[in-house]
Structure 1
Amino acid sequence: MVSYNPACYLPQSWSSQLPNAIACPPPPSYFSTAYTYATSPFSSTYNTLRTMIDALLGLPMLSFLLIPTFSSYSTSLNLLFFYLTWSTLVLSHPPLRVEIVATLAVRTLFYILPSTFFLLFDALLPSAAESLKALGDTALPFKNASRERTMRTLRVLGWSVLNILLGVTIQALVEVLFTRVLLIRSALRVTTALPLPFGILKDLARGYLLREVVTYVLHRYALHESKNSLSRAHNEWYHSLSTPFPLAGTYDHPLAYLVRSFLPTYLPAVLFRFHLITYVIYMAMVSLEETFAYSGYSTVPTNFILGGMARRTDTHMLCGGDGNFGPWGLVDWIMGTSVGADVLDDVVAEADKHDVPARIDKMKSKAGKKVNGKIEDAKNVGGRRRTRRRSSS
Structure 2
Amino acid sequence: MVALSDFNPSCYLPSTVSSYLPNAIACPPPPSVARSMFDTVTSPFTGAYSALRHTTDAILGLPFLSFLLIPTMTSYSTSLNLLFFYLTWSTLVLSHHPLRVEVVASLAVKILFYVLPSAAMLLLDVLFPGVSASFKSLGDDALPLKDTGRKDVFRFAKIVGWSVFNVVFGVMVQGVLEWVLTMQLGRPAALRITTTLPLPWGIVKDVLKGLVARDVLTWVVHRYLLHGGARPANALVRDLSAMHQAWYHKAVKAPFPLSPTYDQPFIYLVRVFLPMYLPAMFWRFHALTFILYLAIVSLEETFTHCGYARLPTHFVLGGIAGRNEVHCVTGGRGNFGTWGLCDWLAGTSIGTDATDDIMDEVDEADVQGTVVKQAGRGVAQVRKAAGGGKRSGNPDSKPRRRTRRTRSESDSE
| TM-score, normalised by the number of residues in structure 1 | 0.90
Cα distance in 1 between the residues matched to 2:34 and 2:274: 42
The structure 2 residue matched to 1:131, chosen from 134, 141, 152, is 134
Cα shift at 1:369: 3.2
Give the match for residue 334 of structure 1. 345
Among 90, 94, 99, the alignment partner of 2:93 is: 90
The offset of 1:67, in angstroms, is 0.4
Cα gap change, 1:163/1:369 in structure 2, threshold over 3 Å: closer, same or farther? Answer: same
CA contact (8 A) 1:8 1:24 kept: no
Distance of aligned partners of 1:177 and 1:10 in 2 relative to their CA distance in 1, 3 Å threshold = closer
State how far apart, in whole Å, the 1-side matches of 2:383 and 2:301 are.
Answer: 52
Once the two structures are superposed, residues 105-135 of structure 1 have per-residue CA deviations (whole angstroms, 9 ceiling, x without a partner) of 0000100000100011111111110100111
Counterpart among 216, 232, 247 of residue 237 in structure 1: 247
Residue 164 of structure 1 pairs with residue 162 of structure 2: no
Deviations 1:298-322 (A, max 9, x none): 1111122111111110000001111
Query: Secondary structure of 2:126's match?
Result: helix
**Aligned counterparts of 1:110 and 1:193: Cα–Cα separation in 2:** 25
| Cα distance change, pair 16–350 in 1 and its aligned pair in 2 (3 A) | closer
Distance in 2, Cα, partners of 1:290 & 1:306? 9
1:185 corresponding residue in structure 2: 188
Q: Does 1:246 align with 2:244?
A: no
Aligned mates of 1:181, 1:355 — CA distance in 2: 58
Question: Cα offset for 1:354?
Answer: 1.6
Q: In 1, Cα distance between the equivalents of 2:356 and 2:8?
A: 85
Pairing 1:293–2:304 present: yes
Q: Structure 2 vs 1, CA of residues 14 and 281 (structure 1 numbering), >3 Å: closer, same or farther?
A: closer
Counterpart position of 2:411:
none
Instruction: Return 73-82 or 318-327, whichever deviates more.
Output: 73-82
Q: What is the Cα deviation at residue 20 of structure 1? A: 2.9
Alignment partners' CA distance in 2, 1:198 and 1:320: 40
Q: Measure how far apart 1:12 and its partner are.
A: 7.8
Q: What corresponds to 2:210 in structure 1? A: 207
- Pick which of 153-162 and 44-53 moved more: 44-53
TM-superposed CA distance for 1:375, in Å, is: 5.2
Matched residue type, 1:108: I
> Structure 2 counterpart of 1:285, which letter?
I
Task: Find 2:177's aligned residue among 171, 174, 178.
Answer: 174
The DSSP-based 3-state class of the residue aligned with 2:18 is coil
> Displacement, 1:367?
2.6
Deviation beyond 6 Å, 4+ runs, structure 1? none
Q: 1:372 to 1:13 in 2, by over 3 A?
A: closer
Q: Distance in 2 between matches of 1:7 and 1:137?
A: 79
The match for 1:305 is 316
Letter in 2 for 1:67: I
User: Is contact 1:15–1:24 with CA below 8 Å preserved after alignment?
Assistant: no
Q: Distance in 2 between matches of 1:320 and 1:83?
A: 48
| Alignment partner, residue 7 of structure 2 | 9
- 1:25-104 correspondence to structure 2 within 5 Å: 27-104=30-107
Look up the equivalent residue of 1:315 and give its one-letter code. Answer: V
Identify unmatched segments of 5+ residues in structure 2: 233-237, 390-413
Instruction: Name which of structure 1's ranges 232-241 and 57-66 shifts more when overlaid on structure 2.
Output: 57-66
Deviations 1:53-78 (A, max 9, x none): 22333342101111011111221122
Question: CA 1:12–1:377 in structure 2 vs 1: closer, same or farther (change >3 Å)?
Answer: closer
Q: CA deviation at 1:234?
A: 0.7
Kindly indicate whether residue 364 of structure 2 is the aligned counterpart of residue 361 of structure 1.
no
SS of 1:248's equivalent? coil
- The separation in 2 between residues aligned to 1:154 and 1:16, in whole angstroms, is 55
Q: Helix, strand or coil: the match of 1:274?
A: coil
Map of 1:263 onto structure 2: 274
TM-superposition CA deviations, 1:27-80 (whole Å, max 9, x none): 544432232222221211111122222233334210111101111122112212
**CA 1:179/1:356 → structure 2, altered by over 3 Å: closer, same or farther?**
same
349-358 or 214-223: which moved more?
349-358
Distance 1:184 1:199 in 2: 23
- Which letter does structure 2 place at the counterpart of 1:20? S
Find the aligned partners of 1:340 and 1:197 in 2 and give their Cα distance.
37
**Secondary structure of 2:260 counterpart:** helix
**CA deviation after TM superposition for structure 1 residue 239, in Å:** 0.7
Using the TM superposition, name which of 222-231 and 165-174 deviates more: 222-231
| Code of the aligned partner of 1:214 | L
Normalized against structure 2, the TM-score is what? 0.85
- Give % identity: 51
Rounded to whole Å, the distance in 2 between the matches of 1:16 and 1:48 is: 36
Query: Hey, what does 2:18 align to over in structure 1?
Result: 20
Confirm or deny: 8 A CA contact 1:8 1:15 kept in the other structure. Answer: no
Measured in 2, the distance between the counterparts of 1:355 and 1:124 equals 39
| Preserved CA contact (<8 Å) 1:167 1:262 | yes
- Could you tell me whether the CA contact under 8 Å between 1:7 and 1:15 is conserved in 2? no
Q: Tell me the amino acid that sits aligned with residue 238 of structure 1.
A: Y
